[in-house]
Amino acid sequence: MGKLKKKGQSGAATNYITRNQALKKLQVTLADFRRLCILKGIYPRQPKNKKKANKGSTAPVTFYYTKDIQYLLHEPILNKFREYKIFARKLSKALGKRQIKVAQNLEKNKPVYTLDHIIKERYPSFIDALRDLDDALCMLFLFSTFPATNKIKNETVENCRRLSSEFQHYVMHTRCLRKTFLSIKGIYYQAEIKGQTINWVVPYQFSQQVPDDIDFRVMLTFLEFYQTLVGFVNYKLFTDINLLYPPKFDKEKDEEAAGLDAYLIESTNISANILDQSKKPEKTDNHDNSKNEINDAKEELTQKKEWEKRLKTLAQKITEIKAQDVKSAAAETQTDDSQTAEINDNKNQLIDDFNEQQSNGKSSSIAENQQVTQITPTTKLFTYYDIHSASVAESEFQQLFSKCIFYLSREVPRYSLEFVIRAFGGQVGWDPTVGGGSLFDETNEIITHQVCDRPSQNHQFLSRVYIQPQWVYDCVNARKLLTTEPYRPGKLLPPHLSPFVEHKEEKAEDSSNESEEETEEMVLMKELEAEAKGIPFSKYQQERKQLKSETIATSRKTIKSGQKRTIQEIEAAEEQEIKELGKIMMSKKQKKLYTKIEHGRKKQQRKVANLQQRKRELDAATSKKKKR
């Protein structure tokens, strides 16, 4: 016989620890514990059996996983918290005694903690960090719109703004934005980075009313962690595509409200070149005279500035040149539809070219053994083509606005539109009242689209299309350039749908409904046809029956000739009955589960039916109006 197991020494009883026990074990205050939990990502658990976890009591208690708490015991931050507490005590003592010098000295040696190791611990791989970026981004974007108050420091807000802008720059640079959605709460974005979809929501830019009933200590602790996380993620993202991190921040531009343009995104190669170039003359000078060093340094600085200026202007010039090209292209194809058509043509051409290349390559490379070539094309060509077309579609989607040049009127949300348009390769200019740094002004002829949100425009340029902002977002969601006609200013906009709703479900529902209707309709149609042919109904039924009896031998002829029920209906009824009979033999547990599932399904169906019904009513109402 094995050793007797004692109660409460294994399983749930030892796996879980209540919050108060945890506090006692860690010897921290509740506030410190909460901060620690937020930073370390420790969360309470719901044990499967409360009684087993809590010594037979079912009182409402918060449980933590015991091992989480054990790990916390060795947490360096825990020590830092204690050190900080001691420091605070010493400081207050010194201040109380008016020992200013001592206080200054203490302040200088204040214990500081970093969260680097926690981030590495919580997200051992970069993908893990990306997966958990949603909340972090939402938080940063929210706080970057906050006013600085006594609770929220200005530096925090600045840092949030900086980090979020850097992330936006990355998204624009890599063209990884996928979906956008204008909701009543804010603007949702979805980006795809390294195979991970990242969603975040940005509030509409109004001055935030900071509510009183919110514990900002909690929010700020989260923010502290998220700032570090996004910082490291940004670093990794930037350096992975050979960009300098942190990007240079142009204060003058920021003061002009240039927004995203205040950050100068540089490739590491360019900057390395600059450094090399600037270092060479310095070295020569050093040989000559050591006293001139300061002057040299100044020269170096000025040279650098020149370089940067040149680079900037270069970028601008490039964009201008591009824009001109686009303009010339746009002149050829006036309407959008023709543009899209052209794109399609291009695509086809591309694919064709590629296929040719493929075939050429293959014929040249595997000319020796023909047998292999005979087998391979049939299998390989298809898959290759498939992958290729998919990638082409993807790259085309990323270049969605590459041939459009937008001008934003002052009433449209620049902070969002600039981001979206640039993330899909478009050029944007804006009204100088919204901020500085616009590439071109309103009168420029190269503009193809002007985004405005006013019902009427004072002066309209014929060379450009006037659209409402929703067009941009709808284009992104539709993954193609839509016709601009319904989005003209002053027009009633088509509904803006959420791209996050799975289309499969809806379609499936629709199609199922349709199929049912179809079957009924088909039966009726056949009956009508039979009548038209002059076959009496009873005879027709018999025929049908014969047909059916061939397929299903067991089906009984329970229908009297006078009855109007069709065979299919009877079959359905029979099936229904069999189902009902089966339900009798279900166990209680199964029955419960079944009713639960059915309940959920029916609820969903009711919802869909309700929507459809409402739509039908609305359609009827509008058609009536039209008739009148």
Query: Could you say which residues in the range 520-579 bind other proteins, by CB under 8 A?
Result: 554, 556, 558, 577-579
CA-CA distance, 355 to 345, in Å (whole number)? 15
Token representation of residue 424: 């899909």
Is the Cβ of residue 317 or residue 491 nearer to other proteins in the bound state?
491
Is the Cβ of residue 235 or residue 382 nearer to other proteins in the bound state?
235
Q: Are strands 248-249 and 196-203 parallel, antiparallel or unpaired?
A: unpaired
Residue-by-residue DSSP string for 20-78 = HHHHHHHT--HHHHHHHHHHHT---B--S-HHHHTTT--S---EEEHHHHHHHHT-HHH
Is the Cβ of residue 34 or residue 347 nearer to other proteins in the bound state?
34
Asked whether position 96 contacts other proteins by CB under 8 A, the answer is no
Residue-by-residue DSSP string for 228-293 = HHHHHHHHHHHHHTTB-SSPEE-HHHHHTT-GGGGEE--BHHHHHHHHHHHHHHHHHHHHH-STTH
- Interface pick for other proteins out of 188, 263, 407, 424 (rule CB under 8 A): 188
Place of tokens 């611990």: 121
Stretch of residues binding other proteins (CB under 8 A), selected from 227-235, 273-281, 377-385, 425-433 = 227-235
CA-CA distance, 238 to 173, in Å (whole number)? 10
State the sign of the Cα–Cα–Cα–Cα dihedral 298, 300, 306, 308. negative
Is the Cβ of residue 238 or residue 424 nearer to other proteins in the bound state?
238
- Interface pick for other proteins out of 4, 581, 627, 628 (rule CB under 8 A): 581
Three-state DSSP class for 386? helix
CA-CA distance, 323 to 264, in Å (whole number)? 21
Is the Cβ of residue 232 or residue 249 nearer to other proteins in the bound state?
232
Asked whether position 63 contacts other proteins by CB under 8 A, the answer is yes
Q: Quick one: 285 exposed, middle or buried, by C-beta within 10 A (0-12, 13-18, 19+)?
A: middle
- Interface pick for other proteins out of 110, 298, 557, 614 (rule CB under 8 A): 614
Residues 110-129 close enough to bind other proteins by CB under 8 A: 116, 119-120, 124-129
CA-CA distance, 420 to 187, in Å (whole number)? 11
Asked whether position 147 contacts other proteins by CB under 8 A, the answer is no
CA-CA distance, 281 to 329, in Å (whole number)? 45
Asked whether position 593 contacts other proteins by CB under 8 A, the answer is yes
CA-CA distance, 408 to 561, in Å (whole number)? 73
Three-state DSSP class for 195? coil
C-beta atoms surrounding 136 within 10 Å: 24
- Interface pick for other proteins out of 87, 232, 384, 415 (rule CB under 8 A): 232
- Interface pick for other proteins out of 18, 62, 389, 513 (rule CB under 8 A): 62
- Interface pick for other proteins out of 27, 71, 135, 360 (rule CB under 8 A): 135
Contact 199, 135 (CB under 8 A): no
Asked whether position 199 contacts other proteins by CB under 8 A, the answer is yes
CB of 563 to other proteins, least distance (A): 13
Stretch of residues binding other proteins (CB under 8 A), selected from 6-14, 359-367, 542-550, 612-620 = 612-620
Query: How many chain residues bind other proteins (CB under 8 A)?
Result: 96
Asked whether position 609 contacts other proteins by CB under 8 A, the answer is no
Three-state DSSP class for 190? strand
Residues 296-335 close enough to bind other proteins by CB under 8 A: none
Asked whether position 289 contacts other proteins by CB under 8 A, the answer is no
CB of 614 to other proteins, least distance (A): 4
CB of 586 to other proteins, least distance (A): 6
Asked whether position 72 contacts other proteins by CB under 8 A, the answer is no
- Interface pick for other proteins out of 337, 352, 353, 411 (rule CB under 8 A): 411
- Interface pick for other proteins out of 204, 384, 397, 540 (rule CB under 8 A): 204
Residues 203-235 as b/e (b if ≥16 CB within 10 A, e otherwise) read: eeeeeeeeeeeeeeeebbbbbbbbbbbbbbbbe
CB of 219 to other proteins, least distance (A): 6
Asked whether position 495 contacts other proteins by CB under 8 A, the answer is yes
C-beta atoms surrounding 412 within 10 Å: 24
CB of 444 to other proteins, least distance (A): 24
Binding mask 436-475 for other proteins (x = CB under 8 A): -----------------xx-------------xxx-----
Asked whether position 150 contacts other proteins by CB under 8 A, the answer is no
CA-CA distance, 233 to 225, in Å (whole number)? 12
Residues 497-516 close enough to bind other proteins by CB under 8 A: 497-498, 500-501
Closest-CA residue to 199 (of 177, 221, 183): 177
CA-CA distance, 144 to 168, in Å (whole number)? 13
Token representation of residue 86: 């001691």
- Interface pick for other proteins out of 583, 604, 606, 620 (rule CB under 8 A): 583
Is the Cβ of residue 236 or residue 309 nearer to other proteins in the bound state?
236
Residues 37-56 close enough to bind other proteins by CB under 8 A: 37-38, 42-46, 48
Asked whether position 184 contacts other proteins by CB under 8 A, the answer is yes
Asked whether position 76 contacts other proteins by CB under 8 A, the answer is no
Stretch of residues binding other proteins (CB under 8 A), selected from 30-38, 309-317, 389-397, 442-450 = 30-38
CA-CA distance, 84 to 86, in Å (whole number)? 5
CB of 215 to other proteins, least distance (A): 8
CA-CA distance, 362 to 365, in Å (whole number)? 5
- Interface pick for other proteins out of 239, 267, 273, 561 (rule CB under 8 A): 239
Asked whether position 65 contacts other proteins by CB under 8 A, the answer is yes
Is the Cβ of residue 1 or residue 112 nearer to other proteins in the bound state?
112
What DSSP state is assigned to residue 494?
P
Is the Cβ of residue 379 or residue 587 nearer to other proteins in the bound state?
587
Stretch of residues binding other proteins (CB under 8 A), selected from 318-326, 338-346, 409-417, 458-466 = 409-417
Residues 6-25 close enough to bind other proteins by CB under 8 A: 15
